[in-house]
């Protein structure tokens, strides 16, 4: 196999999006456009052979995608797609072939990239263009073949330069190409800017190479959807819907029941085990992982959540950057915040908020609690309204509760504090000191009853009201 580099053009501003965010960092399926393209490229060549051309907001693009290990090339001024490749010349001219991808064509599959590479090599072409025939070709460059049946191309004509006759051509330029690098760099200096945008168009390479007697061919993809570009918010949202639809179908094929999938939102990286049921209106975001045999009830939002097998998440719960172990029950309306680890078979119920909570196996916090920065053992029962007071206005402090503890309703536990195994905290207590193992702690005012006081008061009021 010849040495192949991939260049991804990602320096453009994305004027048509009317956004301050660079185009390639706009997201579909919960991930930036460019990250989708890099992921596909990584299935073809190693990271060190991938060169991303950046320019507009270069640092922002680099920090969002740099962890993949790809290399970056700077195109300080964006003077067109041809100029983007000129900027990459010194980095990639040592490779025999160069595959060019567009950072704003995110649904491209690695199989298709491999397909254009293989076709290009078989055809001994100087340039190979990936094309498609979508329902609506408007806005794309059109690829003109020498004759309709010919594999060879004579030119690519941009939308704005099309003659009425050429506008009837159904085949669009996907913005994805393979080049023999010797031919590309021998002629790329001849690109000119006599066009609607006064830019160096990479598409003009087709004509230049043909004029130089080189072979330019086209390969049409069977899946026009995968080469659609995202140039406007409307196009972006269409690609988002296409990708999410694909994700949902993949999960359903793996045995996941997703009821009325069009009502919810599932990001592309989400994994779900078989026999799990996802109810309407659920959002599964980021790197959420869900086990088998779970039920995620309506309007719950799970973001970067790790959920074991057999878990029930009831309606309207939020789980972010947290782990729920097997057979636990969450909700309705629980908010499980970052760093929480809810143990096997544990219950966290109505209107309970947790943050950095480690809750042991089988423990229960079923009603109206705040549990933050707390390590709680197994078999613990936390009554309604138990609050860990973790913040003193300056620092956060930890609450530690042993095993088999009973904390009565409406108790406040003022951290830092340690409550021993087997203890019993009386309801309504304000606990400010550590409690030793197996003790009863009471931290509340003693009740006094005044017999007859209420009746006497009623009578007194009634007497005073007489005329």
**How wide is the angle at C-alpha 240 spanned by C-alphas 239 and 241, nearest 5°?**
90
Nearer to ligand UD1, 134 or 339 (CB): 134
Cβ nearer to Mg ion, comparing 231 with 398: 231
For residue 332, what is the DSSP state? S
Q: Specify the residue, 76 or 440, whose C-beta has the smaller distance to ligand UD1.
A: 76
Q: Is 14 near Mg ion (CB under 5 A)?
A: no
Q: Cα separation of 313 and 297, whole Å?
A: 6
Residue 207 near ligand UD1 by CB under 6 A: no
Q: With CB under 5 A as the rule, give the number of residues binding Mg ion.
A: 3
**In the block, residue with structure tokens 């943050």:** 355
Contact map string, positions 91 to 130, toward Mg ion, x by CB under 5 A? -------------x--------------------------
Task: For residue 232, give every residue at least 6 positions away whose Cβ sits within 8 Å of its Cβ, in sequence order, or none.
Answer: 16, 17
CB of 54 to Mg ion, least distance (A): 16
Q: From start to end of 247-297, where are the E strands?
A: 257-258, 265-266, 271-272, 277-278, 283-285, 289-290, 295-296
Tokens of 92: 């990639």
Can you point out the beta strands (E) in 146-292? 153-157, 172-180, 216-220, 257-258, 265-266, 271-272, 277-278, 283-285, 289-290
User: Tokens 């991939």, residue?
Assistant: 6
Residue 23: Cβ-neighbour burial (10 angstroms; 0-12, 13-18, 19+): buried
The correct pick among 4, 5, 6, 11 for binding ligand UD1 (CB under 6 A) is 11
- Choose, by CB under 6 A, the member of 52, 88, 158, 209 that binds ligand UD1: 158
Least spacing, CB of residue 9 vs ligand UD1, in Å: 3
Q: Is 78 one of the binding residues for ligand UD1 (CB under 6 A)?
A: yes
Q: Footprint of Mg ion on residues 337-396 (CB under 5 A)?
A: none
Annotated catalytic residue within 26, 367, 397, 433: 367
Q: Tell me if 49 contacts ligand UD1 by CB under 6 A.
A: no
104 lies in the binding site for ligand UD1 (CB under 6 A): yes
String marking each residue 215-244 x if it binds ligand UD1 according to CB under 6 A: --------------x-x-------------
We find the least distance from the C-beta atom of residue 11 to Mg ion, in angstroms, to be 12
Burial track 271-300 (b if 16+ CB lie within 10 A, e otherwise) = ebbeebebbebbbbbbebbbbbbbbbbbbb
Please select the residue that binds ligand UD1; options are 86, 183, 203, 354, rule is CB under 6 A: 203
Of the pair 83, 335, the CB lying nearest ligand UD1 is at 83
Name the percent of the chain in helix, strand, coil, to the closest 5.
25, 30, 45
Provide the Cα torsion 97, 220, 139, 179; round to 10°.
10
Question: Shortest approach of Mg ion to residue 185 CB, angstroms?
Answer: 24
Query: Applying CB under 6 A, does 201 fall inside the site for ligand UD1?
Result: yes
Out of 25, 53, 61, 216, which residue is the one contacting ligand UD1 (CB under 6 A)?
Answer: 53
The 8-class DSSP code of residue 13 comes to -
Per-residue binder mask for ligand UD1 (CB under 6 A), 17-36, x = binder: ------xx------------
Does residue 305 bind ligand UD1 (CB under 6 A)? no
Are residues 271 and 32 in contact, defined by beta-carbon separation less than 8 angstroms?
no
Cβ-based nearer residue to Mg ion, 78 or 231: 231
Report the distance separating Cα 240 and Cα 248, nearest Å.
Answer: 12
With respect to ligand UD1, which residue has the nearer C-beta, 238 or 427? Answer: 238
Is there binding between residue 199 and Mg ion (CB under 5 A)?
Answer: no
Q: How many residues bind ligand UD1 (CB under 6 A)?
A: 31
From candidates 35, 112, 174, 369, binder to ligand UD1 by CB under 6 A: 174
Cα 413 to Cα 436: distance, rounded to the nearest angstrom: 14
Residue 80 binds to ligand UD1 (criterion: CB under 6 A): yes
Torsion sign across C-alpha atoms 239, 129, 142, 61: positive
Q: Does 231 bind Mg ion (CB under 5 A)?
A: yes
d(CA 43, CA 22): 25
- Nearest position to ligand UD1, beta carbon: 141
Using CB under 6 A, which of 86, 102, 181, 221 touches ligand UD1?
102
- Alpha-carbon distances of 176 from 70, 264, 326, rounded to whole Å: 18, 32, 45
Give the containing element (helix H, strand E) for 431: strand 430-431
Please confirm, yes or no, whether 367 is among the known catalytic residues.
Answer: yes
**221 DSSP 8-state letter:** -
Partner in contact with 173, chosen from ligand UD1, Mg ion, none, beta carbon below 5 to 8 Å by kind: ligand UD1
- List residues binding Mg ion (CB under 5 A): 104, 229, 231
- List residues binding ligand UD1 (CB under 6 A): 9-12, 23-24, 53, 75, 78-81, 83-84, 102-105, 140-141, 156, 158, 172-175, 201-203, 229, 231
- Residues with a catalytic annotation lie at 367
């Amino acid at each position: 196999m010849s040495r192949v580099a991939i260049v991804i053009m990602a320096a453009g501003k994305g004027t048509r999006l009317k956004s301050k965010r660079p185009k390639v960092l706009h997201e579909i399926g919960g991930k930036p456009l460019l990250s989708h393209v890099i992921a596909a490229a990584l299935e073809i060549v190693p990271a060190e052979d991938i060169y991303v051309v950046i320019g507009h907001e270069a640092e922002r693009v680099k920090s969002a995608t740099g962890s993949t290990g790809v290399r970056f090339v700077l195109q300080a001024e964006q003077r067109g797609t041809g100029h983007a490749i000129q900027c990459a010349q010194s980095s990639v001219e040592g490779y025999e072939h160069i595959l060019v991808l567009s950072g704003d064509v995110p649904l491209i599959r690695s199989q298709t990239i491999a397909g254009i590479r293989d076709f290009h090599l078989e055809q001994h072409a100087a340039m190979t263009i990936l094309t498609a025939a979508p329902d609506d070709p408007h806005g794309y460059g059109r690829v003109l073949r020498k004759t309709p049946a010919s594999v060879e191309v004579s030119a690519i004509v941009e939308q704005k330069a099309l003659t009425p006759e050429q506008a009837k051509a159904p085949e669009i330029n996907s913005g994805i190409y393979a080049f023999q690098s010797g031919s590309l760099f021998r002629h790329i200096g001849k690109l000119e800017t006599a066009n609607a945008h006064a830019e160096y168009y990479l598409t003009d390479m087709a004509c230049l190479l043909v004029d130089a007697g080189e072979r330019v061919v086209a390969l049409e993809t069977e899946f026009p959807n995968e080469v659609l570009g995202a140039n406007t918010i409307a196009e972006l949202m269409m690609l988002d819907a296409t990708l999410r639809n694909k994700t949902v179908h993949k999960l359903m094929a793996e045995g996941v029941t997703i009821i009325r999938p069009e009502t919810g939102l599932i990001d592309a990286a989400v994994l779900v085990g078989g026999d799990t049921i996802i109810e309407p209106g659920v959002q599964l975001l980021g790197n959420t992982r869900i086990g088998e045999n779970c039920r995620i009830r309506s309007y719950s939002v799970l973001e970067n959540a790790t959920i074991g097998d057999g878990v029930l998440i009831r309606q309207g719960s939020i789980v972010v950057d947290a782990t729920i172990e097997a057979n636990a029950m969450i909700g309705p309306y629980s908010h499980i915040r970052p760093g929480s680890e809810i143990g096997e078979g544990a219950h966290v119920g109505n209107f309970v908020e947790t943050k950095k909570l480690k809750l042991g196996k089988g423990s229960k916090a079923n009603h109206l609690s705040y549990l933050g920065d707390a390590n709680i053992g197994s078999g613990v029962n936390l009554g309604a309204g138990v609050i860990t007071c973790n913040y003193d206005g300056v620092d956060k402090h930890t609450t530690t509760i042993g095993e088999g503890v009973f904390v009565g309703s409406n108790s406040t536990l003022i951290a830092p504090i340690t409550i021993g195994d087997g203890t019993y905290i009386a309801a309504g207590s304000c606990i400010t000191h550590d409690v030793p193992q197996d003790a009863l702690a009471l931290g509340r005012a003693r009740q006094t009853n005044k017999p007859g006081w209420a009746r006497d008061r009623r009578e007194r009021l009634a007497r005073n009201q007489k005329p």
